[in-house]
Structure 1
């Protein structure tokens, strides 16, 4: 089920530890690895302990599914708790960013700090050569012998955006068995081999929040600070529940009445605790021709040269043609050919050179 260019092709039987989440993608990944002759060990990662017994948490169901998959595929499985590492390295950052008025992406940090650091360290200690996950991404080796991170072949499912903070060491130790496979084929394989979760719904949202109401969750950890919503001209049009509950470009949940086009969040005035709102999706304040990013991370461990690339400023968007103006003193400056909509501080800008994911940084 892999071609000659795949890192799985012709592999020798050695130990690979695969992260089994209970979902169909990681399950098929484990099956493909076993078919390739690897000595496969499954690991179910418990990254969150709070609220494990409430209606919104799926950890018990997921762990049962992972165990059932391991049994059917014919591999051993271990349940490993990374909840402390997750709380220290991911959740604390998540809360600090929201408290500062930004909108973080915890999935990006989880991949870099938990799935490809804490989990990788654990796997190496178990004698593994590499780890594998069900991400839709791929790798190859360039002319200099460096491992490159590639988009998944299924453009609709490509998850390289969430993996851009992986270092050269991390990506060189990773296998992505689904890199050249489309999601419908993954479902077909799962049904064909009788996986009990072959029709299981894909998980959505932030893992520790799940399907629970987002505002209720944040309010348990951060105090509410209500204030006013105003236009750029200073007209007060409504009240907000707290700046942390809103993100740039947000339309839903503003509860602003009156005639005219829909209202959108355009900015936050942290000093005054005011939410700046505008009418119309094409309002100039929602369109940014340039951005600055920090906390940079490059897959090759060295930054690319200034020049022409494409970039994403959020996961669900088409690539945008851009020019990297400079990468100096840990700061990336990017100018887009066409202004980008709702560029959001705290989110990630990720650079691409064709299929190759180069890395990126946190939008300032």
Structure 2
């Protein structure tokens, strides 16, 4: 008995197309595809690219915005960097010897506050390999660290990847060790942390990091978030936190610990659990991680903004507005026409591929002339024939 081929409905196809479009718009729609972002300064988060043609390995690293990737680097070897924070478009500055930005001529020679990594030369992870890697046949996902923003293979994280990782943020082991105070938070907040127990040596001890020390009688206080399960402090509001209150110190005194190795994974909303007192803000600023207090800094927030902009643009699209004015039957007829055309065009191009022939403009013009001829025959009541 022959096995029946799976049936895919038109709804399945449309839903799959819609899902792919949403994924693309989540990354790109929050970035301007027409205007260089340079005039906006160091953009909080944007889609970025690196050009291997203009800035090959061995030279200076540079990044370009979405619009410049389209307008100034068409046909070049581009590395997609996904999104990065606090970056200003480099296109056409001193790092580009033979290229002038077509969208913005008034640019400084360098953007001194930009941060670069091996990603800008198409290399990723601790293994410094390209993605996709032609020499690596292992099926493995790439996960971005929210601190250094490098992409790492799941198998190179030094920790098991939890389920629903797409809803979590990851901090690689290197960044955890450069920001060692995060290990204290990890024992209380991070996902799938090992079993923890009080450390008697730390109870009633001074904080580990001398930068966290402060005199509660002299240092001004900033508001902090309340600990999970902590009482309201007998009516105290957030603005009325006791002087010198520091959540990080309180967690250190509790004494819970975890193995300080491997990457850590953090649940949605975890940033609100970080202390924002004056001392902690100063510490985060010193290590360049103040952005961790900003929940709008997350990739999820950026993607949500992108999807919202895309929906707004669709609502004002004349083509979509025209489609909305059609009745249900007319809409279905138009969808069927579109899918028939897509199938026939695919078959048409496939015939060239199988014969190793190059598709010329005349071939494409002939294809659409045949489509118009068939449409006229149907309008005259003739049978539709291949």
TM-score (norm 1): 0.21
Higher strand share: 1
- Structure whose CA Rg is larger: 2
Q: Write 1 or 2 for the structure with the bigger share of helix.
A: 2
